[in-house]
Amino acid sequence: MNSNNDQENETQKMKSEFNELSTSNLGSVNNKNCSYCNNPFTAEELCCKNCGLYNIMEGWSSENSDIDKFIKDTMYNEIEKARHRIYCQFKCLEWVPFGRFTNIKKIGEGGFAKVYSAMWNDGRLNYEKYCDWKKLDSKPIKVALKRLNGSQNISTDYLNGLKMDYDLLKFYGITKDPITNEFMTILRFAERGNLRDILSNNFNNMFWKEKINLLCNLSTYLKNSHEMGYIHKNFHSGNVFYNSSCKRYYIADYGIYGSASEQNSNNKIYGVLPYIAPEVLNGKPYTLSSDVYSFGIIMTELSSGKPPFYDKEHNAGLGLDICKGLRPEFGEDTPEIYKKLASRCMNANSNQRPTAIQLNKMLEFWKNSIDGKTYGYKEEKIKTAFENADIEIRDISIEKNPDAVYTSRIFTFSELSEPINSYYFDHKSCSYCGKSFIEEFWCEECDPYNIMEGWNSGDPNVDKFIKDTMYNASQKSQNKFLEWIPFDRFIDIELIGKGEYTEVYSATWIDGRSHYYKLDGNWRKSGSGHTRVVLKKLNSSQNISIKYLNELKKYYELNKSGLNFYGMSKNPKTEEFLLITEFANNGNLRNILSSNFNNIFWNDKIKLLYNLAIDLKNLHERKYFHKNLHSGNILQIHNGYTLRDSYNSGTFHNIIYGVLPYIAPEVLNGESYTSLSDIYSFGIIMVELSSGKPPFYDRKHDSDLALDICKGLRPEFGKGTPEIYKKLAYRCMSVNLDHRPTANELYSILNDWHNYEIVGYKRKITKLMFEEADKEIPNISSLYSKNSGAICTSRKFTFSNMPKPVNSSIIASYLKDLPRELIDYKKISNNCSRCNKPFIEESWCKTCDPYCMINGWTSGSLEVDEFISNTIYKAGSESNSTFIEWVPFDRFANKELIGEGGFAQVYSATWIDGKSKYEKQNDENWIKLNFVPKKVVLKKLNESQDISAKFLNELKTHWKLNAKSYDSTLKFYGMTMDPETKEFMMIIEFANKGSLSNILSKNFSNLLWKDKIKLLYFVTIDLKNLHELGYLHMDLHSGNILQNGEASYISDFGLSGPAGKQESRDKLYGVLPYIAPEVLNGAPYTFSSDIYSFGIIMTELSSGKPPFHSRKHDFSLALEICKGTRPEFGKDTPEIYKKLAYRCMNANSIQRPTVIELNEILKFWYISTNQNIMGDNEEKIRAIFEEADKKIPNVSISYEKDTKYVSRALSFDNLPKPINSPNITSYLNSEGLYRLI
């Protein structure tokens, strides 16, 4: 390395020569036009007014067209990203004249490059956009200049290296040494040096947590570069640096970096010898796993603190030893799991090394385990292993061999032996797949994510469909997803059915379905073994259409809770796709009726129809309909549970397709399929279930039958079929679509029939009817012979000149004359008894069903709509009437401003309609109770037109508190909007006695101590509920405590937030006297900050005066609070009360009581003072507070004009560390008072 004088002379010479060059080069550029809009530049800084930022692309040249294009491409790409954003900061790669650098010092030299530190006088180009662009003031920054030897004539390899460097590191720019004309990259300066320097200087202070974090950072960089298809090829600790601004380690120096698919053909080996993989030393090309080997070497270096093979000469002898299995030593007490992972990385067999993705996943798991972010047996074991290794970090001293060279060089080796391992680690085997673990705690084969790779259906759309189901299942910790199954995993394949569009086979799936379950936060695989399945071959599906794929997606979604759809396969001969579904062990309904009808009781039939109605209801609710519903498509599995086979759902549109007797007459007549066409098919199935015979089994299924169906012909019911059953079936089969029930009504009716054991008059009658019908089930085995033309498989039909469908006289009579007492669901009146509006169907009044409130309104904000709808939906699903409503502003009268704060205005108003209340009846229907006008509070948050996350947080916080304890919380009824200002308003319960601050100012002399204790006790209930939800109030003061009747509530959750998600902010918000001193001093809010505010409220209750009412609320008050000043108590305040309040106001936040402790103490005081429960301690407490009641003073208050008791933004600097005053300290140290607190 040159001396300092040599460096300075070299630098001065370079700069003087460069200044001459730069002066001559910049003489004529101002005459240029912008290359993007062709308008002339302004005189200032080559700026084109039309193109804004594009001017930075002009007025300079590196004198190399490839470099110029590379820099301008990066500029253009960054500008294009920034153009359409409202706000962003813009930084890009720059060409920087060498004259803009000072204090240039050489700090390192390797085999291919020299590295300098320098001061960049201008600093990085930086623009900020907020609607318009402005250039920010640049500041000098310290950088590193890396000069690549021999780069005067830039090569394609070097240019590719620069591009890769920029993609991965985002370096600052490029300049040129004016003496040698070699290009230099401008890099972030690493203050701490490289990893090798850090280990040399600071190893004894590095704990395993930092080492694992470091490796996690590096594995992320390596994973990203490998996913981009690049290999580093020169990965060692000298190329790892620490970024102090974001506190992350990163990989640098991509000088010989290259694409994984573009390997050089020369035999030269580049790098630092100990880090080069043995197969590369042996003449093989670099691969992704070569980088992983280098990663393993760095792992050994991190564990020992010593460079690898520091005591050996780095020559051909070392290369030979590495090929024979020699590896660097680990540090003492290195955890075994760490050694195992590093050893796998350094495996001589490159195919057995983990990938960068696997490494990253494993190290993330270790990092999270050490940080305590994940919990379970394995996580605890990992955390303990590394914590134990930290107990004794040893001092290191090394005596380095002078020929141990840690700069990159060229090597040429010949006749090195084939790489082998000299060690053996037992990684054990996975109990599920039998393969070895990649490390002690993780079997890659049994991780659900693994099944997403390593297969291909031959169709990218099918691949994506299947992988989407896998990914979604893994994200939601579910074990249901589709799989791609090779055809050779099926045996015993047997044709069991054939239709026009499909062939159906039964088969044995050798492996069975993959089942995963989560245990202790980790996935486990359980095998199903041989499984009987159905294979449905989709005829002519070699080129599967997007349209048909969409049908498959619907099929999958609809069958998540029904018949299992396992996956897909492909017939290798025909290339047609197959669906793999659950095998129906009892066959379809038609077969069951044919073989076992005599043993099926009416209870079984109703259960079957009930299950079918559930499926049909779910299908219709998703806006789909079946179109081919018949008994051959109803499969029975397990314990009689019946499911639809709906794979044809929605496939056919203008074609009449299906089994003729089940097709609705309007469809035969040329009308489109509708959901009510499915209801007709349901009715035909009901007839078939009652008789045990296929519909029209004795007739040819042709146009004559279609004609008769349109004329009103229907299949016959079985003997003894209950009349209410016939009535429902005839409604389903009516040609009048208005007569047909919806799937929802079918479900409701069949649910009642299915549950007739529930006590009730109607259900008793239903039960007797079906039990009586069971006595007349006929033996049908020899009662019918089937017509050969009765075809019960799905077919295409074309009919013309069909008559308009009509009902037969029998159907008409059933729909008209059925005795009134048996019409359970058809009311004589078609109007709702509550609102007098017509029913939308027989058993549902839309106006009076709480679910209807989800539709028919909008707040104008998607976020608010979603929030309100979720509360309504949850209330309906949980059968309670507590939810939030959207209320039009014109439903409020007598609006009057009653308060105004820093962030909101508060009005009283009369809600004309009052809160909607619903009650669920025994028959499962909802009724709306009579409403009455109600006085409420409207809280308008200023500037809430565009709903902010902060305002939405207040809504959610208040609602969560309501939902947790509705009766003990100020009720949140709904939301509205001021039509003039478009600001949102919360509708809240009206507190008839106002805020605590108002009560104290008007009525303090009439408040007894038992009233004060009761008030504080109720406040702790709200605060306890809030803290148990994980939220802080952050703005607790007497203006936010409201009194309604005898109850006290906390209100105004505008600043509330989760305890674990504190935002960093420059300003405080709140009322100064109530803000905890540590928060004034810059610390984040905590639960104990709310407790401090509670303590201040206790002093206010004792004196009747607002805290610090006679002082300006400014910096000097904040200073005094940090020094221990607290508000004064009222005269004769009980000592135990002061003691508790001082504990709350302790400057040491850790020593304040929790809200649970506060609640327990105040509950005891409340019971002692307000209830007749007497014991020794209760009597003492009561006596203390009753004695204090004898001396309640009259208060008169004079306010300092700069006191402000509304929440506002505050900002303080240089406040001292909070301390307690001597008075507080004496109270906190007084042991005698603890007995009663």
**What pLDDT, in 10s, does the model give residues 122-171?**
887 766 655 555 566 678 888 888 887 777 776 666 666 666 555 545 57
Question: 69-78, 247-256, 704-713, 933-942: which range is least confident on average?
Answer: 247-256
pLDDT score recorded for residue 430: 40
**Which residue, of 137, 156, 189, is where some domain finishes?**
189
For the ranges 14-23, 742-751, 766-775, 901-910, the lowest mean pLDDT is seen at 14-23
Nearest-angstrom CA–CA distance, 1056 and 1049: 15
Angle formed at CA 665 by CA 663 and CA 667, multiple of 5 degrees:
70
pTM attached to this predicted model: 0.38
Record the tokens describing residue 236, joined without a space: 């060692």
Q: Would you say residue 1221 lies in a domain?
A: yes
Cβ contact 482:466 at 8 Å:
yes
Q: Is the pLDDT of residue 982 over 90?
A: no
The reply to whether 1118 and 1196 lie within a common domain is yes
Residues 707 and 774 in one domain: yes
- Per the structure, the count of domains in the chain is 6
> Where among 162, 189, 216 does a domain terminate?
189
Could you identify the residue written with the tokens 């002379």?
A: 9
- Give the pLDDT score at 664: 93
CATH code, domain carrying 542: 3.30.200.20
* Contact call for residues 831 and 847 (beta carbons, < 8 A): no
pLDDT of residue 915: 80
- Residues 235 and 328 reside in one and the same domain: yes
Query: 715 in a domain, yes or no?
Result: yes
Write the CATH number for 756: 1.10.510.10
Tell me whether residue 610 is in a domain.
yes
Helices (H), 990-1134: 996-1003, 1009-1028, 1077-1080, 1087-1103, 1115-1122
**562 pLDDT more than 60:** no
In tens, the pLDDT along 588-604 reads: 888 888 888 888 888 88
Statement: residue 293 has pLDDT above 90: yes
Residue 839 lies in a domain: no
Reported as a pLDDT band with limits 50, 70 and 90, residue 407 is confident
The answer to whether residue 1039 sits within a structural domain is yes
Report percent pLDDT > 70 for the chain.
71
Same domain, 956 and 1032: no
DSSP letters, 931-955, are ---EEEEEEEETT-SS--HHHHHHH
Crossing angle for the helix pair 1087-1103 and 1135-1144, nearest 10 degrees?
150
Could you tell me which residue, 34 or 981, shows the higher pLDDT? 981
Give me the pLDDT at residue 832, please.
40
The mean per-residue pLDDT over the stretch 1047-1062 comes to 62
Question: Average pLDDT for residues 78-102, to the nearest whole number?
Answer: 73
Which pair of structure tokens corresponds to residue 842? 């027989």
What is residue 46's predicted lDDT score, i.e. its pLDDT?
35
Q: Which range in 347-361, 897-911, 1055-1069 is most confidently predicted, on average pLDDT?
A: 347-361
- Which of 83-97, 563-577, 670-684, 1050-1064 shows the lowest mean pLDDT across its residues? 1050-1064
Is residue 696 domain-shared with residue 769, that is, in the same domain?
yes
Single-letter amino acid code for the residue at 1017: Y
Does residue 818 register a pLDDT over 80?
Answer: no
pLDDT of residue 705: 92
854 plus 955 within the same structural domain: yes
Domain end residue (candidates: 936, 958, 989): 989
Query: Among residues of the chain, what percentage have pLDDT more than 90?
Result: 18
Whether residue 576 sits in one domain with residue 475: yes
**472 shares a domain with 415:** no
List pLDDT tens digits, range 605-650. 888 898 888 888 888 887 778 888 888 888 765 444 444 444 344 4
Are 628 and 542 members of one domain? no
Mean pLDDT of the chain: 76
Q: How confident is the model at residue 197 (pLDDT cuts 50, 70, 90)?
A: confident
Q: Which CA distances in Å does 593 have to 600, 604, 665, 681, 688?
A: 8, 12, 25, 17, 9
Residue 85 lies in a domain: yes
The segment with the largest mean pLDDT, out of 241-255, 295-309, 431-445, 453-467, is: 295-309
Task: Give the separation between CA 652 and CA 987, rounded to whole angstroms.
Answer: 51
pLDDT at 1055: 54
- Residue (of 189, 110, 181) closest to 145 by Cα position: 189
Question: pLDDT of 700-740, one tens digit each?
Answer: 999 999 999 999 999 999 888 888 899 999 999 999 988 89
Query: Domain span at residue 1177?
Result: 996-1234
**Claim to verify: residue 395 and residue 356 sit in the same structural domain:** yes
pLDDT exceeds cutoff 60 at 477: no
pLDDT digits (tens, 9 = 90+) for 494-553: 988 776 667 888 899 888 877 665 555 455 556 567 888 888 887 777 777 676 777 777
**Alpha helices, DSSP H only, in 703-806?**
703-710, 723-732, 743-754, 761-773
Q: Is the pLDDT of residue 43 over 60?
A: no
Q: Are residues 30 and 95 in the same domain?
A: yes
Contacts of 816 (CB under 8 A, 6+ apart): none
Mean pLDDT on 66-87 = 72
Cα 955 → chain centroid: 20
**Are residue 600 and residue 638 in the same domain, yes or no?**
yes
In a domain, 829, yes or no: no
Q: Does some domain include residue 834?
A: no
